[in-house]
Amino acid sequence: MTHHRRAPLLPWLITTIGALVMTLPFTDMFLTSLKDPGDYAHLPYRFLPSAFAFANYRDAADELDLATLARTSILTALTVTVSVLCTSSLAGYALAKLRFPGRALLFRFVLATMMLPPFLLLIPHFLILAHWPLAGGNDLYGNGGAGLTTGITALVLPFTVSAFGIFLMRQFITTIPDEILEAARLDGAGELTLWWRIVLPQTTPALITLALLTFTIAWNEYIWPLLISTANPCLMTLPVGMQLLQGHLDPQRTTPLLMAALVISALPVLALFLLLQRHYVRGITEIVEL
């Protein structure tokens, strides 16, 4: 570059301060998770722990029963991810490559559902699950029992289909040349075989992006699992458990243990994000280009 640029002092300063503000809560969370009770009670507040109490992590895991919470979280997030991948790519395939009446209208309808505010669906989703016919003690008309609100299905069911996922997969599947599909059809392959043998392998990068975004959102979801687990505490996920179980800890030790538990609850998606950022970025850009 021939054009000489001034040393950008102000941008450096602002960005560095900004980065400090962005990471301070995480740093403080991590440092606090390593303090023993006396260390934590020290006044005035000290950012750095005087010794590293790594035992906090073990104690937090024991006292909050993190293993059970983590199991529910992992099971829920994985089930949601797998089902969103299946429904999105199947529906995306249908919308991109199959000719049927009303296809354009249907696609617009899917896009429209993306605009639905999530809070609006809370009440109907809950009522539908509670009045699911012939489940959880309900009669044929959906009355009398608890419906589907007491099982792990309650955590998963509302999230099995994603309008954004359908949109994303449709965009990618449209780019697969029709000739490949036609050739396979001539060889006698059915639509499901085409989907499995051709569509899925051709769209692997998009599937990875969708899987990461879905897993992250499902793992971090708070309001819905909170709602479900107030009826049935066995269905607590990690974030819900963190929030609800705070009061069960010995107050003197609460904060460092809680911070340790929060670090544990945040680590899986943070690790995924740091390892596979470019896939995340692609997903976000797709949303913007909508």
- Would you state the structure tokens that stand for residue 276, as one six-digit string? 């596979």
User: What is the chain's percent helix, strand, coil content, to nearest 5?
Assistant: 75, 0, 25
Closest by CA to 268, choosing from 228, 207, 218, 206, is: 218
- Shortest distance in whole angstroms from residue 205 CB to another protein: 19
Question: Three-state DSSP class for 271?
Answer: helix
Q: In the complex with another protein, which residue's Cβ is closer, 143 or 204? A: 143
Query: Residue 34: how many CA atoms within 13 Å on its side-chain side?
Result: 13
What Rg, from alpha-carbon coordinates, does the chain have? 24
- Residue whose C-alpha is closest to residue 217's, from 284, 169, 151, 168: 284
Closer residue to another protein in complex, CB, 206/261: 261
CB of 223 to another protein, least distance (A): 5
Q: Least CB distance from residue 54 to another protein, whole Å?
A: 19
Q: How far is the CB of 165 from another protein (least distance, A)?
A: 11
Question: How near is the Cβ of 100 to another protein at its closest, in Å?
Answer: 5
Min dist CB 266 to another protein, Å, is 4
Question: Within 115-197, where are the H helices?
Answer: 118-130, 152-156, 163-174, 178-186, 191-194
Q: Least Å distance between CB 288 and another protein?
A: 6
For another protein, the closer CB: 130 or 207: 130
Residue 137 · residue 58 · CB < 8 Å: no
- How far apart, in whole angstroms, are the C-alpha atoms of residue 222 and residue 147? 22
Of 60, 8, 94, 122, the closest CA to residue 267 belongs to 60
Of the pair 127, 134, the CB lying nearest another protein is at: 127
Would you say 209 and 283 are in contact if contact means Cβ atoms under 8 Å apart?
A: yes
Name the nearest CA neighbour of 219 among 275, 163, 260, 159. 159
Report residue 169 CA to chain centroid gap.
18
Residue number, 200 or 226, with CB nearest to another protein: 226
Amino acid at 65: D
